Structure 1
């Protein structure tokens, strides 16, 4: 019996949740959900069945409680009362309310419900704070709730913007709150600072379970500081708004920690998340991000890029078509996107046509004029563009000075021009390097059309900067996870292999092919003067064309009678 009792105790201890962990609990049959401070609880809400959340035994040194609830994409409503009032309820996927405690108050209640016809999976937690902790959203003048600890998020294709209400200093139970804008000295809320944090979910994972689990790492101050990346620190003089580059299909969680440097205390706002896409859209939702046109375009382009990566210098005219296509196509896409409202698929087709014309034009210019310097300038500028894009893909691109368009584009152009200038004395090396790096990078873009990778944003961020004026204020942070390391290794391997192969194969060969027009002209003169050359006796092109047309015309003419068809009798 003693052994059985010991085993029972061990089993019960193993299933007891750890402190601060998540309690996986279903709906209460009585519609009452018991919560504990600092412990997450999973729950399911259904449309006709509202729930009441209750927190008991609140300590006397707690002055306010933040109750927050999260779901993936279905809205949940949280309110102080059963009757929904605009200034006492909030609705969304990541929402919370601040309960200011009265003297002797030891219990708080909140009402939870959803208007979504489908059941909504949620995770919720109440967090308690003392009178020395700042109150997030305590000086709210913009949103409906009087004290609003929520972060409001908006996104489009280019940028994701978060906004939040300024905080106020903490105060004791029963005391009047400090005034927000009467004075701006060190004893007012103007001494508060706001740290904005960003946390990336695992790439290519859109599951609800993963999101709700990772949201638990972004609710409390110590966890946020340990797991997330601090992007920027705002003061009370700054606007409480921060923009980020939108990462379509990539889960991102944002949170803000308000700090009181005088008392060395801090409080976390209610975290919010986004995938920069819609789960409920019929077309282009989060589950089917890649368009068919994009996949076809970049797959074909990647095949051409692979050929250029390994054989570009040998097939010089093909490479020139490739370079001209990218040059004209890139600028033409920017032009028609900014000036016309046509749809994406049409823009892609028109861009492909314009790029093909640009490639043919560059090949024709080389064939007729043979100006190697002009062709290599285009090649070098394209490599310089890629190098400059990589430079601004690093944390250097988030420096405040580069938010000024003039500074950004001048610096970007200088880096792009610097590359062909440096290699002007060794044009063959410049050409082979361009073939290797640019051709292999197209494989990265093709991979991104099927599977998310952050490396595609090396050039996509530059395109966004050129298309969208407000993108200059966005922080261009991206995750760098397992998929990205694999794609980076493939890119590097292809580039090094292509460059090495072309350098070894071109040893002892002419640096560049001769001028095609001069060769053609010399050959034509040789045929005219050399009567022993069989080609000398070939009729001119015009006569040959007329002869061919006459033969074709004869096929459709009726055969004329040739006289008597029967033999004469002798």
Structure 2
């Protein structure tokens, strides 16, 4: 009895200590974001930025306007991927993954109480915390439901876009809208949907620029103000659009659906056609592969040589011309007909073929100069014709493939014939025209320029199935303007210099002064 009483006291004190603890033993940490929408009208817009660092974060939406029939919650994550869902566990048809995603909620949904709860789960984060931009669009019953007539996306209602890309094109795809008040009427609902895009004229990206770009395409008013409507001349599916990739350039995609003067917007998406988590390697410059750096360096060297002395150092200029021509043709044939090698491996093989072809043509010219002279110089003429055709035919991008290639072929052949007829002045023009472009392209590929896409876009038309339906043009920037001014200056300076150097000079042996000199 004497020992029992102290033991009871000790047990009682221990229970008190365990129950008090440090305040964390009986209450678990529950990360959450609470959105009070009491200040929003029945059709309105909310926007804010947050940082999430936990694997799972709850979003509570409070005080929704009684006249709001549905809303779209959207999340945009910078350098990270998240999953947004109705349920705590990721269940089929109740969640969506991505960096620019959204989820629909409507009063016609079953078993939904207040507060309305959503769940954000981090997926493969690049850093410890992910910065997100969170927006809510509230709508009334007369407004179209973006993505309400879903045919293939994971969610039953899909107000978001799915954006993918390959080496050539970015693809943005969405689902048709529906009418909320007519129980998801999809056939002949008379909803007008328009696709918009905004090009980002930047060669770098950071968090502020990323979110600011998306903000410009969040509302109908901003989309109409900042965006460019996708032309109806492009023969593309109604809810699927293609965009040409330019390294270092991005697009923001917006969609507006309208029914009887009532509008709603889809979740905007952004893409640079590359993985921006490693910007310097994937999105700008030469892509981190040394073979590209070597190729661009050779373009610069051959460009300088052709501009300054292409008509003077005959065999060198012939070698450069046929090397470039052989490399381009081999690379295109490889890409069109052989898929087992990487792009870099195809380029290496094409460079080897181009070098062998150049050596062979120079040998022919050296050994049999008179009968082979026009074969020798035709390399630079064909490059010039193709380049001029790329400039002119590129203006008619929306034309069908057959019409485009008729224009391209006609311009190319006409240019080659005129250059032959105008020899030797045509030969100088050919070298300065192609050499100036090669020089500017090599520089542009190192510093993020875009003049090289004159040729690249023609190549893409050959290999990309949907290129004819793609948005291909670049928005105007001063850097692009000065690239073309630089090309023009090189042509003029190179022509004047080589013309003066060639006056009354016999550039070819064995009595060809009458053909190859300028008097």
Instruction: Give the alignment's TM-score, normalised by structure 2.
Output: 0.82
Stretch moving more, 204-213 or 235-244: 235-244
Q: Secondary structure at the match of 2:216?
A: helix
**What is the Cα deviation at residue 416 of structure 1?**
1.0
Q: Secondary structure at the match of 2:45?
A: coil
Q: How do 1:105-116 and structure 2 match up within 5 A? A: 108-116=116-124
| 1:322 aligned residue (314, 320, 323) | 320
Which residue is 1:273 aligned to? 270
Which residue is 1:305 aligned to? 303
Q: Secondary structure at the match of 1:489?
A: helix
Looking at structure 2, the residues matched to 248 and 225 of structure 1 have their Cα atoms a distance apart, in angstroms, of 26
**What is the Cα deviation at residue 169 of structure 1?**
2.9
The reply to whether residue 101 of structure 1 matches residue 98 of structure 2 is no
Which residue is 2:508 aligned to? 513
Which residue is 1:538 aligned to? none
Q: Which runs of 5+ in 2 are unaligned?
A: 1-28, 38-43, 515-519
Q: How do 1:73-84 and structure 2 match up within 5 A? A: 73-84=79-90
| 2:456 aligned residue (450, 456, 460) | 460
Looking at structure 2, the residues matched to 287 and 306 of structure 1 have their Cα atoms a distance apart, in angstroms, of 24
Which residue is 1:144 aligned to? 154
Q: Deviations over 1:90-113 (max 9, x none)?
A: 12100011222369x997543323
The reply to whether residue 67 of structure 1 matches residue 69 of structure 2 is no
Q: Deviations over 1:487-521 (max 9, x none)?
A: 233222222211222223333445x63458999xx
Which residue is 2:175 aligned to? 165
**What is the Cα deviation at residue 227 of structure 1?**
0.9
Q: Secondary structure at the match of 1:153?
A: strand
**What is the Cα deviation at residue 76 of structure 1?**
1.6
Whether the 8 Å CA contact 2:33–2:58 is kept in 1: the answer is: yes
**What is the Cα deviation at residue 125 of structure 1?**
1.0
Whether the 8 Å CA contact 1:324–1:361 is kept in 2: the answer is: no
Give the greater-gyration-radius structure (CA): 1
Which residue is 2:7 aligned to? none
Are the structure 2 counterparts of residues 200 and 283 from structure 1 closer, same or farther at C-alpha, using a change threshold of 3 Å? closer
Which residue is 1:44 aligned to? 51
Q: How do 1:477-516 and structure 2 match up within 5 A? A: 477-509=473-505, 513-515=508-510
| 2:334 aligned residue (328, 333, 336) | 336
Are the structure 2 counterparts of residues 201 and 234 from structure 1 closer, same or farther at C-alpha, using a change threshold of 3 Å? same
**What is the Cα deviation at residue 40 of structure 1?**
1.9
Q: Secondary structure at the match of 1:128?
A: strand
Q: Deviations over 1:411-436 (max 9, x none)?
A: 21111112123344322232222211
| 1:410 aligned residue (406, 410, 414) | 406
Whether the 8 Å CA contact 1:46–1:116 is kept in 2: the answer is: no
How many equivalent pairs are there?
472
Whether the 8 Å CA contact 2:85–2:96 is kept in 1: the answer is: yes
Q: Secondary structure at the match of 1:383?
A: helix
Q: Deviations over 1:210-236 (max 9, x none)?
A: 111111001111111111222234999
Which residue is 2:135 aligned to? 125
Q: Secondary structure at the match of 1:165?
A: coil
Looking at structure 1, the residues matched to 234 and 389 of structure 2 have their Cα atoms a distance apart, in angstroms, of 32
Q: Secondary structure at the match of 2:142?
A: coil
Are the structure 2 counterparts of residues 238 and 327 from structure 1 closer, same or farther at C-alpha, using a change threshold of 3 Å? closer
Are the structure 2 counterparts of residues 457 and 470 from structure 1 closer, same or farther at C-alpha, using a change threshold of 3 Å? same
**What is the Cα deviation at residue 203 of structure 1?**
2.0
Looking at structure 2, the residues matched to 59 and 83 of structure 1 have their Cα atoms a distance apart, in angstroms, of 29
Q: Cα RMSD (Å) of the superposition? A: 3.2
Looking at structure 1, the residues matched to 202 and 513 of structure 2 have their Cα atoms a distance apart, in angstroms, of 55
**What is the Cα deviation at residue 238 of structure 1?**
4.2
Stretch moving more, 326-335 or 244-253: 244-253
Q: Deviations over 1:118-176 (max 9, x none)?
A: 311111111123333322111112112111111111111122111111112342xxxx4
Q: Which runs of 5+ in 1 are unaligned?
A: 1-27, 182-187, 520-570
Are the structure 2 counterparts of residues 441 and 320 from structure 1 closer, same or farther at C-alpha, using a change threshold of 3 Å? same
The reply to whether residue 357 of structure 1 matches residue 356 of structure 2 is yes
Looking at structure 2, the residues matched to 431 and 327 of structure 1 have their Cα atoms a distance apart, in angstroms, of 16
**What is the Cα deviation at residue 300 of structure 1?**
2.5
Q: How do 1:365-404 and structure 2 match up within 5 A? A: 365-367=364-366, 368-370=368-370, 371-394=372-395, 396-397=396-397, 399=398, 401-402=399-400, 404=401
Whether the 8 Å CA contact 1:135–1:169 is kept in 2: the answer is: yes
Looking at structure 2, the residues matched to 136 and 382 of structure 1 have their Cα atoms a distance apart, in angstroms, of 49
Which residue is 1:33 aligned to? 34
Q: Deviations over 1:380-400 (max 9, x none)?
A: 221111111122444x21x1x
**What is the Cα deviation at residue 35 of structure 1?**
5.3
Looking at structure 2, the residues matched to 237 and 131 of structure 1 have their Cα atoms a distance apart, in angstroms, of 31
Q: Secondary structure at the match of 2:503?
A: coil
Looking at structure 1, the residues matched to 444 and 164 of structure 2 have their Cα atoms a distance apart, in angstroms, of 24
